[in-house]
Chain A
Amino acid sequence: MSIFIDKNTKVVVQGLTGREGQFHALRNRDYGTQVVAGTRPGKGGEEIQGIPIFNTVEEAINATGANTAMTFVPPAFAKDAVLEAAIAGCNLIVCITEGIPAKDEAEMYDILKNTTNAMLLGPNCPGLISPGKSNVGIMPHEITKEGNVGVVSRSGTLTYQAVHELTKLNIGQSTCIGIGGDPVPGMSFIDVLDAFEKDEQTNAIVMIGEIGGSAEEEAAEFIKNNISKPVISYIAGVTAPPGKKMGHAGAIVSGNKGTAKAKIEALTEAGVKVVKNPTQIGKAIEDVI
Chain B
Amino acid sequence: MNLFEYQGKKLYKQYDIPTPTSIFIRSQSELANQESLLFPVVVKAQVQVGGRGKAGGIKLVSSHDELKTAVNEILGMDIKGHRVESLLIEEASTIIKEYYISFTLDRSVKKYLMLLSAKGGMDIEEVAEKNPEDLIKIYISPSEGLTEETIINAIKDANLDPEFTNEIKNIILKLYNLFVAGDCDLVEVNPLAITNNGVLALDSKITLDMNAEYRHEEFNEFEADIPIPDSEAFAKSKGLNFIKLDGSVGIIGNGAGLVMSTLDVVSEHGGKAANFLDIGGGAKAETVTAALEVLESDSNVKSVLINIFGGITRCDLVAEGIVEATKGKFLKWPIIVRLDGTNSKEGLKILSQFKNEKIIISESMDEAAKLAVKESQ
A binds B: yes
Bound Cα distance from A114 to B144, whole angstroms: 11
Interface pair A279/B209, CB less than 8 Å apart: no
> How far is it, in angstroms, between the C-alpha of A249 and the C-alpha of B214 when the chains are bound?
16
Please state if A155 and B263 are interface contacts (CB–CB under 8 Å): no
Chain B contact residues, majority secondary structure:
mixed
Determine the distance from Cα of A157 to Cα of B280 in the docked complex, in whole angstroms: 10
Q: Which of B113-170 contact A (CB under 8 A)?
A: 125, 141-144
Interface residues on A, range: 35 or more
Using a CB-CB cutoff of 8 Å, which residues 6-57 of chain A contact chain B? Answer: 20, 24
- The answer on a CB contact under 8 Å between A156 and B209 is no
Task: Report whether A103 and B183 are in contact in the complex, using a CB–CB cutoff of 8 Å.
Answer: yes
Bound Cα distance from A184 to B107, whole angstroms: 6
A246 touches B311 (CB 8 A): no
Contacts of B180 in A (CB 8 A): 103
A92 to chain B, nearest CB (A): 19
Q: Given the complex of chains A and B, what is the CA–CA distance between A251 and B259 in angstroms?
A: 12
Query: With the chains together, A184 CA to B141 CA distance in Å?
Result: 13
Interface residue B328 (Cβ < 8 Å from any Cβ of A): no
Task: Give every chain A residue within 8 A of B241 (Cβ-Cβ).
Answer: 246-247
Which residues of B lie under 8 Å from residue A279 when comparing CB positions?
265, 364-366
On whether A103 and B214 interact (CB within 8 A), knowing A111-B143, A138-B312, A157-B254, the answer reads no
Assess A157 versus B309: contact at CB under 8 Å? Given A100-B211, A238-B264: yes
**Which stretch, A62-70, A207-215, A224-232, A266-274, touches the partner chain B?**
A207-215
User: Using Cβ atoms and an 8 Å threshold, which residues of chain A touch B364?
Assistant: 279
Asked if A246 contacts B365 (CB within 8 A), the reply is no
In the assembly, what is the distance between CA of A240 and CA of B261, in Å?
9
Q: Encode A109-130 as 1/0 by CB contact (under 8 A) with B.
A: 1110010000000000010000
Residue of B whose beta carbon sits closest to that of A249:
B211
Number of interface residues of B (CB under 8 A): 52
Given A98-B281, A107-B142, A158-B257, CB of A143 within 8 Å of CB of B264: no
B331 at the interface (CB under 8 A from A): no
Q: How far is the CA of A127 from the CA of B266 in the complex (A)?
A: 28
- List residues of chain B with CB within 8 A of the CB of A250: 107
Interface contact B340-A160, CB-CB below 8 Å: yes
Nearest opposing residue in chain A for B276, CB measure: A246
- For A157, give its contact among B183, B209, B212, B255 (CB under 8 Å): B255
With both chains docked as a complex, state the minimum distance between the C-beta of B180 and any C-beta of chain A, in angstroms: 6
Residues in A with CB closer than 8 Å to B276 are 240, 244, 246-247
Q: Mark B176-218, 1 if CB is under 8 A from A, else 0.
A: 0000100101000000000000000000000001011011000
Residues of A within 8 A of B257 (CB): 153-158, 181, 208, 210, 236, 248, 251
Contacts of B267 in A (CB 8 A): 238-239
B100 at the interface (CB under 8 A from A): no
Task: State whether A239 and B273 are in contact (beta carbons under 8 Å apart), knowing that A102-B105, A278-B261 are contacts in the complex.
Answer: yes
Q: Which residues of A contact B259 (CB under 8 A)?
A: 246-247
The reply to whether the CB of A142 lies closer than 8 angstroms to some CB of chain B is: yes
* Contact call A75/B311, Cβ cutoff below 8 A: no
User: Cα distance A127–B180 when bound, in Å?
Assistant: 29
Contact A246 B256 (CB under 8 A): yes
A44 to B110, CA, bound (A): 36
A24 to B282, CA, bound (A): 11
A241 and B265 CA atoms in complex are apart in Å by 15
Report whether B340 and A101 are in contact in the complex, using a CB–CB cutoff of 8 Å: no
Chain B residue nearest to A260 (CB atoms) is B264
> Across the interface, do B311 and A106 meet the contact criterion of CB distance under 8 Å?
no
Asked if A81 CB lies within 8 Å of chain B CBs, one says no
Contact call A236/B282, Cβ cutoff below 8 A: no
B341 and A142 contacting across the interface, CB-CB below 8 Å: yes
Bound together, the chains give a CA A251 to CA B261 distance in angstroms of 12
The complex places the Cα of A47 from the Cα of B241 at a distance, in Å, of 36
Q: Which of B276, B309, B340 has the largest number of chain A CB atoms within 10 A?
A: B309
* B260→A102 contact, CB < 8 A: no
**Residue from the list B185, B211, B261, B311 in contact with A126, Cβ < 8 A:** B311
Interface residue ranges, B against A (CB under 8 Å): 105, 107-108, 110-112, 125, 141-144, 180, 183, 185, 209, 211-212, 214-215, 241, 243, 245, 253-261, 263-265, 267-268, 273, 276, 278, 280-282, 309-312, 340-342, 364-366
Closest 7 CB pairs between A and B? Answer: A155-B257, A247-B256, A157-B255, A157-B258, A101-B212, A158-B257, A106-B142
Given A156-B312, A277-B268, A279-B365: 15 more A-B contacts, CB < 8 Å = A101-B215, A102-B105, A154-B257, A161-B261, A181-B256, A234-B261, A236-B258, A237-B263, A237-B264, A239-B267, A241-B245, A251-B256, A251-B257, A278-B261, A279-B366
8 A-B contact pairs sorted by A residue (CB < 8 Å): A110-B111, A126-B311, A156-B255, A157-B341, A183-B105, A247-B276, A251-B260, A276-B264
